[in-house]
Amino acid sequence: MIFTIKKDQHFSNQFCFKMLNLLNISKNQAFTTTFTNSCIYTLPNSDQEDINKLFGFSCGMHHKNSARFGWSYINNKIQLWAYYYNDTQRYNTYITSLELNKPYQLYLNALESYYEFLVEHDYAVVARIKVPRKNKKTIGYNLWPYFGGNNSAPHDIKIQMVKID
């Protein structure tokens, strides 16, 4: 499935898919994800370093407690981030760099005291990090591709994501 963030927008398409997959009770997500050439962009000043959102889930409200994969395009690579909130405090931790047009398996798991971000390519581990998780709520909602920070998409951004069962 291709998620498209249209030029001058923040939110991605696929409304029906997102509505059918709104609630997250399992606190796990996994997608084979390919960043296309459309993910190359240039923004002014330090805005290039803003972290866009890929996918994840909330534990309650997402600006209070949540975890997502984030991404930015810096130095000709996709920079992948752990982007998360603990009790309204926002954090981001660098995970790894990805190449364009290559499929990566991305796994996000909420465990008892931490979130685990796992990145694989051809099912070999590329990176794995754990970040603290304070909130233990079991009901939340899924979060989907979003461009920004403060800038909207400078052109159509297309990201292929296939759910891993």
SS3 47: helix
Q: What is the pLDDT of residue 123?
A: 86
Q: What is the pLDDT of residue 60?
A: 76
Q: What is the pLDDT of residue 135?
A: 76
pLDDT in tens, 69-118: 999 999 999 999 999 999 899 999 999 999 999 999 999 999 989 999 99
Does residue 146 surpass a pLDDT of 70? yes
Q: What is the pLDDT of residue 19?
A: 67
Q: What is the pLDDT of residue 92?
A: 96
How far is C-alpha 25 from the chain's CA centre? 18
Q: What is the pLDDT of residue 17?
A: 62
Average pLDDT over residues 116-121: 97
**Domains contained in the chain, CATH given:** 2-163 (2.60.120)
Q: Is the pTM of this model over 0.85?
A: yes
Q: Is the peptide bond before 140 cis (omega within 30 degrees of 0)?
A: no
